[in-house]
Amino acid sequence: MRYTLDTSYSTGRVYSNGDRTVLMTNNIYPVRGIKPLEKNKKLYWEVKCEKVTNGYVVIGVGNVNASMNSYDETLNRRVYYGSSGQAWTNTGKVYGAIYGEGDTVGIAVDLTVGTVTFYKNGASQGIAFNDLTSMGDIYPYASANQPNTPATATFNFAKKDLKYSIPQGYKALDFGGVLLQSNNKIYSLESIDKWYETKMTSNNSPVPLVASASSSYSTDYLPWRAFDGSLVDLPNGGNNCWLTSNRVLTGYIQLDFGKNTNISGFSLTPRQNSDVAVGINCMPKNFTFLGSDDGINYSVINEYKNESWTHHTQERTFTFKKPVSYRYYKLDVKEINGGTLYVAIGEIKFLKPMIINELPIASMKNFVNYGQTSLLNLSLPITTKNYTLQDIVSKNGQGLWTAKLDRKPLSISFK
């Protein structure tokens, strides 16, 4: 079943577009999702404001006690107001940009720690609340926020319907549903948009990783900072990033994995500084991505021209036509986006190639557990094949095992 809005709340609401678009005729008629968000997950969805007067709409999450027949300004909601840009529970606080008709609001809920971050047209507004785990079961939620001021909005829960990139580490709220079939065999794609976790703590740790660069601004901005898996500011208040030496506007940064490692792309995120002169203007504009087996002889994987970033929170992903395998990966910056101080990169990540799972049957459980809503980049070669074993008789635990195999086994035994 696809995730939709709960249409059992029908008075004063008109649903359409497969129950994803709703006209809320008054602020006493909010809407919410069909079921609670799964706990301990990091989930993302978007709401497009189709027709909204003066930004009179609120978007966010509500718990099971949030009123569905009155305007509920209580602790049962955590919402983002379009007309003021404020974050609200039972009171408002200064938060983000105003939004309204034509804008898309992204909602990133991290139920591993209880935070919600809102996005306006792909730009993060920062963490709005950090207490969601105290609310009990929560749902996607929206409402008009003025009497007799209707609002129409479209909820996009599936990855294929999202307008903007899913934030790092999150999944689309509706991420299951599609399996592949070929020659009477059933497959799912497992490793879509999965990243290597480098989490470096110095230029040569953890072993065997080694980060290096053509130059560094100071010991606070060494190359490993771009591979530490974090954008949180340094204790001294500086941004967590790699910088070249002062007034050096070209240069390279490199990661040695210690062994040949398959990747199918990479991503670049700016340093977290809203001042464009030291932020997005210092990101690579023209650059080359290279690979090497020995750190001496390099092959050009791709060249990039006229690349840019619109916001300091924007993570851009660059995928290859086919996966590559090298020990060393180097980003060689030829020109930046108008900055005059240095090259500045907040974070570099490496994308794992897709992995295919062969499944015994196309059961409903397999659609839920293994299906993908959006089968992107199917033109990319699949380098790893798994065979998933299922113990249907004993139902022992989840009854699922996955083993990496070069080919399908001739015989399978259970203990």
C-alpha to C-alpha distances, 31 to 77, 191, 303, 330, 392, nearest whole angstrom: 12, 34, 47, 49, 39
Domains and CATH numbers, the chain: 13-172 (2.60.120.920), 180-192+355-404 (no CATH), 210-351 (2.60.120.260)
Task: Write down the pLDDT at residue 178.
Answer: 52
For the chain, the straight-line distance linking the first and the last C-alpha, in angstroms and rounded, comes to 35
| Residue 229: count of CB within 10 angstroms of its CB | 14
C-alpha to C-alpha distances, 355 to 89, 194, 262, 319, 378, nearest whole angstrom: 43, 10, 12, 16, 11
Q: Residue 409 — very low, low, confident or very high, per pLDDT cuts 50/70/90?
A: very low
Contact 362, 188 (CB under 8 A): no
- Section 70-74 average pLDDT: 82
Per-residue pLDDT reduced to its tens digit, 198-210: 989 999 999 999 9
Tokens of 187: 């497959």
Contact 329, 288 (CB under 8 A): no
- Section 150-175 average pLDDT: 89
pLDDT score of 405 more than 90: no
Task: Write down the pLDDT at residue 338.
Answer: 96
pLDDT score of 373 more than 50: no
How far apart (Å, rounded) are the C-alpha atoms in residues 55 and 139? Answer: 22
In one-letter notation, the amino acid at residue 109 is V
- Section 1-24 average pLDDT: 87
Q: Which residue has the higher pLDDT, 410 or 230?
A: 230
How far apart (Å, rounded) are the C-alpha atoms in residues 54 and 79? Answer: 17
Q: Residue 80 — very low, low, confident or very high, per pLDDT cuts 50/70/90?
A: very high
Per-residue pLDDT reduced to its tens digit, 97-141: 999 999 999 999 999 999 999 999 999 999 999 999 899 999 999
- Section 245-271 average pLDDT: 96
- Section 26-53 average pLDDT: 92
Contact 124, 166 (CB under 8 A): no
Cis ω on the peptide bond leading into residue 360 (within 30° of 0)? no
| pTM score of the predicted model | 0.51
pLDDT score of 41 more than 60: yes
